[in-house]
Structure formats: C-alpha cells, structure tokens
Amino acid sequence: MLMNIKNILNIPGTSQEFDFSVPEEQLEFVRGYVFDTPVQVKGDIVNHAGAVVLRLHIEFSLLVTCDRCLKESVQAFSYDTEHLVVRFLNDEENEENYVVAKAESIDIAEIAVADLLLELPSKMLCKEDCKGLCPVCGCDRNMTDCNCITRIEFE
C-alpha cells in the first residue's frame, strides 16, 4: 500500500490512520511460511512537532509444522512496531534505523512484511514445552512415554 505522506511530513500535528490487508502478491517471495489468514495491518502515521512516526499493528495466522514433533497447527501472530520516517539520510550506514520517504511516499505493506519476517521465531513449536519425537522409536513423546534409551553412548 503506497501512501503519499507529503502533508504529514510538512505539517506538524497531522496524522493519518490506515487499515488494510497485505496483497497476496507481496507475500509471494516469503518462502517457508504458509499464511492461513491474510496479513492485516492497522496503524497510523503522525507528525509530532516535526518527528514523523509510523506505528503498525500486524496480525496474521500461519500453518506451521512443529520443529520438534512435526505436528501441524495454525498459530496466530500479532506484532506492534514503530518507525521514524525521514525524507532523506545523510549517513547511509543508519538506514536500517529509519524509513526513508522517497518522493514523499512510503510502501506500508512492504514495511509490514519486513517487520513480520524479523519478528517470527526461528523455531516453530506446537507448544512451548513440546517434547518432540523419540530419536529411537519415533513416537510422539507428547502423547506417550516410550522406554527407549535416549542417551547416546560414546566409545
């Protein structure tokens, strides 16, 4: 969602709210994740005495496979992020700390997708205390207790 923010950049005290779903074509490059629901983005962009702040609330659900027990489940995710918006940067090294409004516009959907990818956990679990699969017999240790020896002996 490309938003022209010229008025917000130029007039302190102005703001604009937004509420939209990220188009599916903007999620096509996201590999390794299956979105169960659309990515919903709500928020606002506000000029506080010349400092322009972009606030996002991002909600979506993923179809995930547990990294320990391989069980599939749908998990809901919700994130709040905030960015400082600037017209340009003198120092390109700090670009990751700001959103640059090139031509006085920003792509809020692109920013939201980048934020959600940074927030996703590196390991997906069906539940925080998942016991996983037995490395010997393969049973789901969340469902049953097996009598396999799970200690690896070194010679």
Answer yes or no: is 7 within a domain: yes
Distance from first CA to last CA of the chain, Å, rounded? 61
> What residues contact 12, with CB distance under 8 A and at least 6 apart?
47, 48, 49, 50
pTM score, whole prediction = 0.82
Residue ranges in the chain assigned as alpha helix (H): 6-10, 108-119
What is the mean predicted confidence (pLDDT) over 18-23?
94
Higher pLDDT, 94 or 11: 11
**Contact (Cβ atoms closer than 8 angstroms) between residue 87 and residue 104:** yes
Structural domain for 112, as ranges: 2-119
Residue 105: count of CB within 10 angstroms of its CB: 12
For the CA atoms of 122, 123, 126, 131, the dihedral, rounded to the nearest 10 degrees, stands at -160
> Residue 150: pLDDT above 90?
no
Answer yes or no: is 140 within a domain: no
Of 9-18, 63-72, 95-104, 106-115, the least confident: 95-104
Q: What is the reported pLDDT for 130?
A: 93
- The structural domain count of the chain equals 1
Q: What is the reported pLDDT for 89?
A: 80
Answer yes or no: is 9 within a domain: yes
Answer yes or no: is 49 within a domain: yes
Which amino acid would we find at residue 13? G
Answer yes or no: is 79 within a domain: yes
Answer yes or no: is 19 within a domain: yes
Residue-wise pLDDT tens digits, 25-59:
888 888 888 999 999 999 999 998 888 999 999 99
